[in-house]
Amino acid sequence: MRMPAFLFFLIAALTVAADIQPCRHSEEPHREVAAFLSASAPDTGARQAAAIRAAREGDSTALDTIRKGRNSTAETAGKDASLSIADAVVPSASGGIPIRIYTPAATSGGGKPAAVLYLHGGGWTIGSINSCARFCRALATASGAVVAAIDYRLAPEHPYPAALEDTLIARQWLQQQLGAEQIYLAGDSAGGNLAIAAALQIAQNRSSATVSGLILFYPVVYADADGSDSWLRNGKGYALDAELMEEFNEAYAPAEARQRDPLISPLLSPALHLLPPILLISAQFDILHDQGREFARQAAKAGVPVRARCYEGASHLFITMPGMDTYFQRAVRDAAEFIRAAKN
């Protein structure tokens, strides 16, 4: 019996939409990851968690110190002939959103360049345009796209939806300034969460704004302890401890909201079908691995073109912290390829 033509094409379309590579798991982290983890102070996660707890109670002294420390380690100095780097401020009711724009000297493919709005990670409480500077520079050079990063407002001083509001304002401003035909939202960890939430909000509002694609590195898609195998197995000693992630979540939004609002926990969204094409990179030794993979599967099931990759031997933070160059460079290549493929 021959398969009906409509069913054949439906199956073919779903096959094209879902490019979810199976995970290969190594017994130990990659040597670069192992070196990074061994060089990290064993109480780093606990100290950060305590600082966030204190800030939620009104004392931000320790958290401010951590923020300054993370901010000062970024690669921002030095000239690059292949890039023009400019700082600006996006007008907003909150007093302005700092933005840094990386413009390649030669854009790929002719015409107006694609643009990428990058949202840094840091559990919505730490990080800045400096902490993602190395990746933004590399992605702009490799892809030919204009890449911009913003200093969105941080929790707990500015809980949900402040960071999301800043993301939406910056995305609109960027399109107005560049006139780009393609704008991607990208981010790592909490930044990936903001990218997805902004894309959902834009699609649900049915505005004239569009998002061409999502580029996500180990994103937070369920802002609560998920009890998954990866959460339990990698909950301590792998760059993002469960205790710290729980404090990030508490600082960003109340538990009741996190467990029901799809703009905080996008895995809960009934509107995943509205999302643009997705590149989602997960790390094997990361508590967020399983929820990220589940999000990729659910989005693909909803009909979204999804390209999901699992980096064997990797841990959280390879986008922003130096020393894990194997995964950093692979991430740059995968993201640049995703942008070039869509442009062509």
Cβ atoms within 10 Å of 12's Cβ, excluding its own:
10
The angle subtended at Cα 182 by Cα 180 and Cα 185, nearest 5°, is 110
Q: Which of 114, 86, 82, 116 is nearest to 99 (CA)?
A: 86
Tell me 9's DSSP state.
H
Q: Which of 286, 289, 290, 315 is catalytic?
A: 286
Tell me 236's DSSP state.
S
Asked whether 294 and 300 are in contact (CB, 8 A), the reply is no
Cβ atoms within 10 Å of 224's Cβ, excluding its own:
17
Alpha-carbon span 256 to 291, nearest angstrom: 19
- H-state helical runs in 103-181: 133-143, 162-178
Alpha-carbon span 40 to 34, nearest angstrom: 10
87 is catalytic: no
59 is catalytic: no
Q: Which long-range contacts (CB under 8 A, 24 or more apart) does 328-336 make?
A: 328/134, 328/135, 328/138, 329/138, 331/135, 331/217, 331/281, 332/135, 332/138, 332/139, 332/142, 333/142, 334/279, 334/281, 334/309, 335/139, 335/142, 335/143, 335/186, 335/215, 335/279, 336/139, 336/142, 336/143
Tokens 């990220």 correspond to what residue?
A: 292
316 is catalytic: yes
Residue 289 identity: H
Secondary structure element (H or E) that encloses residue 250, with its range: helix 242-252
Q: Which of 189, 212, 230, 315 is catalytic?
A: 189
Residue 206 exposed, middle or buried by CB count within 10 Å (0-12, 13-18, 19+): exposed
Q: Which of 315, 296, 295 is nearest to 306 (CA)?
A: 296
Strand partners, 20: 308
Active site residue ranges: 189, 286, 316
